[in-house]
């Protein structure tokens, strides 16, 4: 725990974390103000409920559409390159003098996961609760805030492959919170994957940070081309963002792959600690 606290201290003082976290919070607050501007002056019966305006949902406003594009790189910026930086500055050996390999490695790994989690979770939860200030808890604007052709997917069971539709229809606030945790967990796993990669890659810090971003988009393009969007990450982690159906199998595969990518490299990465500059 002591070494984890040390890593958290390093994280909270890091310029890349402060800048990324601040920008994400500003972005989340700006999305709230955009909702306010879009609904300013409307009749009270024409104002949507707060549950429809969550930034992590694709039925909120146009600012949502940038989140699926950038979240994979946002997750990696704060702390995923911490080992890469220390190795480049040749300070890793000084850290290892004060603690064991396991203490150094796992304290960093958990701090990296934490960095990826909170850089998404806190801005999104701020946006989520800000909407309660200006918008009603319930509204008669539309039962699902979706066109009739789409709302049936969630409420009448036309498409039995949509996951969590009961929450969407009966308690959309829980539905949004569920997806807020899913995207935050995914962001944490992404940061760990990039961290693991940093033990084997030494060339460009920028390319390291963008590595999962590049893989993620290539992976999405390939799955889309072959009609396999069931296994797309963003098909499950963003609220109301359903493409060609969701399945328990798809959700299971997506998160198993993420977990394996994050934790399978552990023994190989730890071995690299003993040969840092090889």
CB count in 10 Å sphere of residue 59: 19
Please tell me the pTM assigned to this model: 0.89
**Tens of pLDDT along 242-256?**
766 788 888 999 999
Q: What pLDDT score was predicted for residue 130? A: 95
> Could you tell me which residue, 33 or 226, shows the higher pLDDT?
33
Residue 16 has pLDDT above 60, yes or no: yes
- State the pLDDT at residue 4: 82
Residue 223 parent element (H or E): helix 205-225
**Predicted confidence band of residue 147 (pLDDT cuts 50, 70, 90):** very low
Asked whether residue 108 carries a pLDDT value surpassing 60, the answer given is yes
pLDDT given at position 244: 64
Q: What are phi and psi of 4, to 5 degrees?
A: -65, -40
Distance (Å, rounded) from C-alpha 144 to C-alpha 59?
Answer: 10
Q: What is the pLDDT of residue 77?
A: 95
Q: Are 110 and 42 in contact (CB under 8 A)?
A: no
What is the rounded average pLDDT for all residues in the chain?
86
| In contact, 49 and 13? CB cutoff 8 Å | no
The Cα 216–Cα 204 span in angstroms is 19
Structure tokens at 178: 């569920």
Longest CA–CA span in the chain (Å) reads: 67
Say how far apart CA 98 and CA 100 lie, in whole Å: 7
CA-based R_g, the chain, Å? 21
**Cα distance between residue 3 and residue 61, in whole Å:** 42
Query: Distance from first CA to last CA of the chain, Å, rounded?
Result: 30
pLDDT-derived band at 230 (thresholds 50, 70, 90) equals confident
Give the pLDDT confidence of 52-77 residue by residue, as tens digits. Answer: 899 998 888 889 989 998 999 999 99
Q: What is the pLDDT of residue 158?
A: 44
In this predicted structure, what is the pLDDT of residue 22?
97
Whether 85 contacts 205, CB under 8 Å: yes
Own/partner pairs for 256-264, CB < 8 Å, 24+ apart? 258/186, 258/189, 258/190, 258/193, 258/233, 259/189, 261/189, 261/193, 261/196, 262/113, 262/189, 262/192, 262/193, 262/196, 263/192
The DSSP 8-state label assigned to residue 239 in this structure reads: B
Tokens standing for residue 166: 């009961």
């Amino acid at each position: 725990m002591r070494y984890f606290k040390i890593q958290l201290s390093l994280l909270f003082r890091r310029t890349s974390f402060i800048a990324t976290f601040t920008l994400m919070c500003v972005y989340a607050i700006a999305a709230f103000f955009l909702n306010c501007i879009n609904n300013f002056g409307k009749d009270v019966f024409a104002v949507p409920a707060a549950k429809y305006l969550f930034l992590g949902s694709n039925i909120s406003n146009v600012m949502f559409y940038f989140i699926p594009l950038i979240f994979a790189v946002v997750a990696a910026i704060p702390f995923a390159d911490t080992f890469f930086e220390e190795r480049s500055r040749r300070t890793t050996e000084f850290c290892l003098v004060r603690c064991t390999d396991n203490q150094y490695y796992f304290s960093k790994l958990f701090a990296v996961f934490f960095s990826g989690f909170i850089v998404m979770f806190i801005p999104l939860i701020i946006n989520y609760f800000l909407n309660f200030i200006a918008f009603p808890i319930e509204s008669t604007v539309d039962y699902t805030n979706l066109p009739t052709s789409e709302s049936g997917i969630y409420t009448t069971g036309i498409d039995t492959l949509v996951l969590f539709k009961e929450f969407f229809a009966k308690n959309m606030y829980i539905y949004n919170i569920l997806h807020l945790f899913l995207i935050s967990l995914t962001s944490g796993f992404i940061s760990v994957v990039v961290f693991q990669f940093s033990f084997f890659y030494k060339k460009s810090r920028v390319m390291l940070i963008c590595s999962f971003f590049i893989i993620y988009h290539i992976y999405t393009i390939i799955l889309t081309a072959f009609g396999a969007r069931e296994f797309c990450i963003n098909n499950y982690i963003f609220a109301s963002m359903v493409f060609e159906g969701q399945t328990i199998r798809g959700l299971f595969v997506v998160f198993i792959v993420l977990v394996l990518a994050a934790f399978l490299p552990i023994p190989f990465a730890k071995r690299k600690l003993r040969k840092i500059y090889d």
